[in-house]
């Protein structure tokens, strides 16, 4: 089955810093999503990005499907960006296969 | 448009009991999926329903079951609860089953504690 690996597993930054989170996957993809899970457990959709580049405010994402990776960029980090960031791909049985997540802590 | 709603938000049960969790998808969404999240196992797929039919099931014992109603609302049931069933249960809805339009949107989850 599809394997999804995220790096780094943990990231601690000062407020205002920039960061890049990576998601590598083992198979071709037609559905890739990035989520932010807040401390209360809510999964918030960030990007639906099977290919190409998208931007939303301070966040942007790029997926290079041919090289099987996706990147999530966070610029000018704020404390509210803290939480766990997940990359997830949909397999041929229409279930999301999840990475282990990157735990991001933004210090004031 | 209202998001995905789940009830109850928190639940405490004892071993051996059973529990039913409810999920109402975004209006117009016909696919509902359920996931279990635990610290040790991460996010794991339970099952997916589309137009009242279970189309896929994850690797969970038969104690875990679900159904979907004609209005797309879904319930999942866990019978004979075990301590290891303590988890955050997340429901997701999407408009289409499969294909490029299958972005999934999640509810706030139900946090189940089994004592």
Tens of pLDDT, residue by residue over A38-57, are 988 999 999 999 999 999 99
Buried b (16+ CB within 10 A) or exposed e, B44-79: bbbbbbbeeeebbbbebeeebbbebeeebebbbebe
Whether the predicted pLDDT of B114 surpasses 70: yes
Tens of pLDDT, residue by residue over B65-95, are 999 999 999 999 999 999 999 999 999 999 8
Nearest to A42 among B45, B97, B109 (CB): B109
| Residue A90: band (very low, low, confident or very high) from pLDDT cuts 50, 70, 90 | confident
Tens of pLDDT, residue by residue over A1-36, are 889 999 999 999 999 999 999 999 998 877 899 999
Buried b (16+ CB within 10 A) or exposed e, B26-37: beebbbbbbbbb
- Under 8 Å CB-to-CB from B9, ≥6 apart: which residues? B108, B109, B110, B111
Tens of pLDDT, residue by residue over B14-36, are 999 999 999 999 998 999 999 99
Q: What is the per-residue pLDDT for A29?
A: 78
- Separation in Å, CA of B42 to nearest CA in chain A: 7
Return the CA Rg of chain A.
Answer: 13
Q: What is the per-residue pLDDT for B46?
A: 96
Q: Which residues does chain B have within 8 Å of residue A98's beta carbon, measured at their own beta carbons?
A: 42-43
Tens of pLDDT, residue by residue over B45-65, are 999 999 999 989 999 999 999
Whether the predicted pLDDT of B97 surpasses 70: no
Q: What is the per-residue pLDDT for A82?
A: 95
* Cβ-defined contact of B106 to A86 (cutoff 8 Å): no
Name the residue with higher pLDDT: A5 or B99: A5
* Cβ-defined contact of B56 to A35 (cutoff 8 Å): no
Q: What is the per-residue pLDDT for B98?
A: 53
Q: Which residues does chain B have within 8 Å of residue A40's beta carbon, measured at their own beta carbons?
A: 108
Nearest to B42 among A33, A45, A100 (CB): A100
Chain B residues interacting with chain A (CB cutoff of 8 angstroms): 31, 33, 35, 37, 42-43, 45, 48, 55-56, 58, 88, 90, 92, 97-100, 102-106, 108-109, 111
| Residue A70: band (very low, low, confident or very high) from pLDDT cuts 50, 70, 90 | very high
| Residue B101: band (very low, low, confident or very high) from pLDDT cuts 50, 70, 90 | low
Whether the predicted pLDDT of B99 surpasses 70: no
């Amino acid at each position: 089955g599809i394997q999804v690996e995220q790096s780094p597993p943990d990231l601690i930054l000062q407020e205002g810093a920039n960061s890049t989170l990576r998601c590598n996957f083992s198979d071709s993809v037609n559905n890739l999503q990035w989520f932010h899970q807040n401390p209360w457990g809510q999964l918030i959709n960030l990007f639906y990005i099977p290919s190409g580049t998208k931007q939303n405010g301070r966040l942007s994402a790029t997926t290079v499907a041919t090289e099987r990776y996706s990147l999530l960029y966070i610029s000018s980090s704020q404390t509210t960006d803290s939480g766990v960031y997940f990359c997830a791909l949909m397999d041929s049985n229409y279930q999301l296969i999840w990475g282990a997540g990157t735990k991001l802590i933004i210090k004031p | 448009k209202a998001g995905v709603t789940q009830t109850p938000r928190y639940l405490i049960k004892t071993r051996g009991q059973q529990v039913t969790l409810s999920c109402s998808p975004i209006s117009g969404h016909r696919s509902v999926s359920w996931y279990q999240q635990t610290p040790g196992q991460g996010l794991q797929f339970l099952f997916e329903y589309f137009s009242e039919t279970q189309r896929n099931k994850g690797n969970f014992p038969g104690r875990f079951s679900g159904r979907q109603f004609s209005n797309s609302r879904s319930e999942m049931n866990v019978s004979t609860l075990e301590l290891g069933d303590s988890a955050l249960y997340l429901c997701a809805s999407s408009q289409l089953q499969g294909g490029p339009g299958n972005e999934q949107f999640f509810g706030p989850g139900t946090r189940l504690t089994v004592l």
